[in-house]
Structure 1
Amino acid sequence: MSRPCRQYGCPNVVKLRSQNGYCNNHESMRSNWNKRPQRAGSTTERGYGHAWRKLREKVLQRDGYLCVNHYAKGEIVEATDVDHIVSKEKGGTDELDNLQSLCAQCHQEKTAKEDSKQ
């Protein structure tokens, strides 16, 4: 099913689902969020098993189940994710001072920004 390109004002049509809504002229706008190589395997295989779930709950409780980014701006938004401030890939640990509670949107934006720097 053909759809118009997501880029405002673009007259081109997107025909393939793999184009993520953007025509070939705007391919740089496509997100690779679901194509991250480190996401292979189950959550347990990636190191997020029972111990992580317990730690995650501890961090959410510590932060009052609020997104720390929004809270810093005086906004109250529920946190759904726990994020490594310094990613494990870059030497970060599972220590409490390296973990923060974020809403899904803030977590996705932070991860996308980190991935674009690689």
Structure 2
Amino acid sequence: MPPAAKRGCRAPMCPGLTSERHGYCTQHEQLASGWNAPGRGTAEQRGYDSTWRKLARTILKRDGYRCRCAECNRLGRVLPAGEVDHRIPKFEGGTDDPGNLYAIHPDCHKRKTQAEAQRARSVQ
């Protein structure tokens, strides 16, 4: 198979070219978010396989497909949940135990994940 064609760097005004998946040239590769970082592995390699999907369906059903995040609970807000999250994140020692899992609305999940990512970066 021929190598991938080079395309423009995603950094604004950068004339550099790259064939990397993250889309940044070598000068700007530190701007990559880390979601496509080499060595991170696929979702299945990180433990989100068919067993996880089955467990997630069970948690969604247990929680009545309603968001159970701390903010929604505090505000008495009722939002539909379509995702499952860890109360204690895996990077902080959390497990896939059902007691550590709860249903969460996608927007709430994004907010919580951004806060966790910020915390993780400050620890490094």
Which TM-score tier does this pair reach, normalised by the shorter chain?
0.5 to 0.7
Q: 1:91 to 1:74 in 2, by over 3 A?
A: same
Distance in 1, matches of 2:103 and 2:52, equals: 14
Deviation string 1:20-49 (CA, Å, 9 cap, x unpaired) is xxxxxxxxxxxx895345993322111111
What is the total number of aligned residue pairs between the two structures? 91
User: Secondary structure, in 3 states, of the residue corresponding to 1:83?
Assistant: strand
Moved over 6 A (4+): none
With normalisation by structure 1, the TM-score equals: 0.65
Deviation string 1:40-92 (CA, Å, 9 cap, x unpaired) is 33221111111101110111011100111325522221111100111111111
Is residue 40 of structure 1 aligned with residue 40 of structure 2?
Answer: yes
Distance in 2, matches of 1:71 and 1:33, equals: 34
Aligned residue for 2:110?
108
Q: CA deviation at 1:114?
A: 1.1
With normalisation by structure 2, the TM-score equals: 0.62
Aligned residue for 1:13?
none
Query: Are 1:67 and 1:79, in contact at CA under 8 Å, matched by a contact in 2?
Result: yes
Aligned residue for 1:68?
68
Q: Unpaired segments of 5 or more residues in structure 2?
A: 1-8, 13-30
CA RMSD of aligned residues (A): 2.5
Letter in 2 for 1:52: W
Aligned residue for 1:57?
57
Distance in 2, matches of 1:80 and 1:87, equals: 18
Query: Are 1:84 and 1:99, in contact at CA under 8 Å, matched by a contact in 2?
Result: yes
Distance in 1, matches of 2:102 and 2:83, equals: 8
Aligned residue for 2:91?
89
